[in-house]
A and B are shown apart, each in its own frame.
Chain A
Amino acid sequence: MNCDICHTEKATIFFSQMAEGKLQKVNLCKVCADDKGVTDPTGFALADMLEGMGKQTAVDTGPARNELVCGSCGFTQTDFKKTGRFGCADCYHVFDEGLDGLLEAMHKHTRHVGKAPQSFPEANDRAAASAPVSVAETNPRARLSELRQALSKSVEDEDYEEAARLRDAISRLETILGES
C-alpha cells in the first residue's frame, strides 16, 4: 500500500481520522508523516475530527465574534480547534454540543462504564448510566450543593456514617474550590 500523500513511497504509518463526518483510514510513509508532524497519530487526527463537531466557527482567523468561552478557565472554541485539548474539566460542560459525535468517532461509545471515585458510587450503577445527566454531575459547585443537601438529609435520617462520609467529601471539595 502506498502513501496517501506522495503516492510513491510505501506507507508504514496507519491510523484513522474523521473527514467530512466519516471515519477514514489514513496511510502515510515515514517522510510525509514527519512532514505533517504526525508523531502522535491520535493528536493529529483530532484537528480533523473537530470538523465533525456541531458548532462551526468562522472560517477566517480574525477575532472571533460571539464565541463560546468557558467561564471557569477562559478557554474558547477556537482554542479547542487549535489544540485538540480542553482548558479545564468544566470545558466538557461548556463545549458539550456536538461532543457526543466527536466521542462516538473516537471511542465508538459516549458513556463511561468503568471505575468511579467512591464519592460517586452511583456512577458504577449501570441503571444510572442511562439516566439523563444533570448539571450537578459536571459542575463541581452544583455538586457541592448536592452534597450539602444529601448531608442534611442523612443527619435527619440519623445515618451518621453516611453523614461523616459526606462531610469529608464536602470539606475536600470546599478546600479545592476555595469556599471553606
Chain B
Amino acid sequence: MRFSTLLKKPAEWMRTTGPENDIVMTSRVRLARNLVGFPFPGWAKKDDRTRVMEKVRPALEELAEMKDSFSEEMTQLTAIEKQVLVERHLISREHAAKGPGCATVMNRKQTVSVMINEEDHLRMQAIRPGLQLLAAYRSLDQIDTELEVDLPYAFDRQYGYLTACPTNLGTGMRASAMLHLPGLVLSEQINQTIQGANKIGLAVRGLYGEGTEALANLFQISNQNTLGMREEDIIAHLDRVIGQLIANEKNARMKILEDRPTMMQDQIGRAFAVLKYAHIISSKEALNHLSMIRLGCDLGFIPEEERECITVLLTEIQPAHLQISAKCKLSPEERDILRADIIRKSLIGLTPPDFGSILTNRDNDDE
C-alpha cells in the first residue's frame, strides 16, 4: 500500500465506535520484542540494524493480518510524511527521527503498526476505539505468537522478554487508554486524579501537554510496571481504574450541570461560535474548542452525528496533516488560516447547541 492510500482514509478507530466511547477515545497495547544474537537498536551498528530489519520486515509482511500492508524504511519517507504517522499515533516521535535500518509496517486499517528498530527491534502496537484493552492485547498476542516461529526472541526465564530499557522488561507490554476528561479539568480535580493513579503504579499524561495544561482535555493512562504481573492482570487492573475514572468524570459533568449550568453553556456555545466563524485559529484554541463540542455531544446539546467529524478533526488539524492537504510547506500563520478553513468546512452542517434541557435550571446558577 502506498502512503497516499494510507492518507486517504482516517484510521478505522476514528470511524467506528467501541464500549465507553464517549469518554474513552482509544485503547492501545504495545509489545516490545528483541531478537536473540543482535545488539539492541540504540547500541547496534548500522549493519546489524539492517540485518535485523531484513529478518523482521518480511516476517511481518507475510502475516495474514498485514496483507497489503504499508511497509517502508524510514529513510524513504519525507519529514512531513513521518510527522503524519506521529500525529496518527502510528509511530513515536523518536522513531520519526530514525535513519538507515529502521522501518515501519502497518496494516490497511491502521489498527496494527510495528516500528522496526525503534528502542527495541520490534515495537508492535494495536489500537481500538473505546475501552477494549483486552481485545487489543489479544489481537497483538496472536501476531506475536505467529512471529516467534520465524523470529527467535531474546527471552529469559527469570526476566521475561529482554528489552533495551529495564523499565519494559518482562511482558514488554504497555497498555494505555486515551481519555476525554473535560469534567475533571473544569472542576479542577485532574491533578488529584493524576496523583492518585501515580500512587497505584499507573501513569497519566496529557496527550498534548501536562496536567491542567493538557490540550483538548485528552489524557493517556498507562501501566508503569511490566515485570511480575501477567498481561491479563495488568489489563484487568487498568480496566478497573479506568472504570472508576469514567464514573468520576460522569459525576463531575453532572455536578457542573447542576451547580454551574451557565458556565457549561458558555463554554460549549463559545466553542460553537469560534469554530463555525473563525478564519485564523491556533492548534491550541481549536483543540480546546473541539473538546467542548465533543462534550456537547455527550450531554445531548449537539447532535450525536457530529462526533465522528470532531474525532477526525482532532488529527486533521495537526501541522503535518495540514501541510499534506495543502501539498506544500506552510508557515505557522498559513497553517492557522488553513486550519480555520478546514474546520469551518467540516462543521458546515453543525447547528447551534440546543440547551433546552438545562435552561430551566438557570436561576440556580451560583457562578
Contact = CB atoms under 8 A, between A and B. Distances in A.
Contacts of A118: 145, 148
A177 B37 contact: yes
Nearest to A115: B231
B210 A33 contact: yes
Contacts of B162: 86, 89, 92
Contacts of A42: 165, 167, 203, 224
Interface string A107-151: 111111111111110110000110001000110100000000000
Given A86-B162, A92-B159, 20 more contacts: A33-B210, A84-B166, A85-B42, A85-B165, A86-B164, A86-B165, A89-B156, A108-B228, A111-B228, A112-B171, A113-B230, A114-B160, A114-B170, A114-B229, A114-B231, A120-B157, A140-B154, A176-B35, A176-B37, A177-B36
A43 B171 CA distance: 18
B152 interface: yes
B98 to A, nearest CB: 15
A152 interface: no
Nearest to A109: B228
13 contacts: A15-B203, A84-B165, A103-B159, A103-B166, A103-B227, A111-B227, A112-B156, A113-B228, A115-B141, A119-B148, A169-B152, A172-B150, A177-B37
Given A88-B40, A172-B152, A176-B36, A12 B225 contact: no
Interface in A67-109: 72-73, 75, 79, 83-89, 92, 99, 102-103, 106-109
A16 interface: yes
Interface residues of B, number: 52
B198 A140 contact: no
A88 B167 contact: no
A167 interface: no
Interface of B: 34-40, 42-43, 119, 141, 144-145, 148, 150, 152-162, 164-167, 169-171, 173, 191, 194-195, 198, 201, 203, 210-213, 224-231
Contact of A85 (B148, B155, B164): B164
Central interface residue in A83, A102, A138, by most chain B CB within 10 Å? A138
A87 B230 CA distance: 26
Contacts of A177: 36-37
Contacts of A92: 156, 159, 162
Nearest to B195: A14
B36 A107 contact: no
A172 B210 CA distance: 46
Contact of A113 (B38, B154, B210, B229): B229
Contacts of A133: 156-158
B152 A173 contact: yes
Contact of A114 (B43, B166, B171): B171
A14 B154 CA distance: 33
B35 to A, nearest CB: 7
A140 B37 contact: yes
A122 B37 CA distance: 22
A108 B198 contact: no
Contacts of A169: 152
Interface in A1-49: 1, 12-16, 25, 30, 33, 41-43, 46
B198 A15 contact: yes
Can you list the 4 inter-chain pairs with the closest CB atoms, starting with the nearest? A109-B228, A112-B160, A12-B211, A89-B154
Contacts of B42: 83, 85
B169 A103 contact: yes
B228 A110 contact: yes
Contact of B191 (A12, A87, A111): A12
Contact of B213 (A12, A88, A111, A140): A12
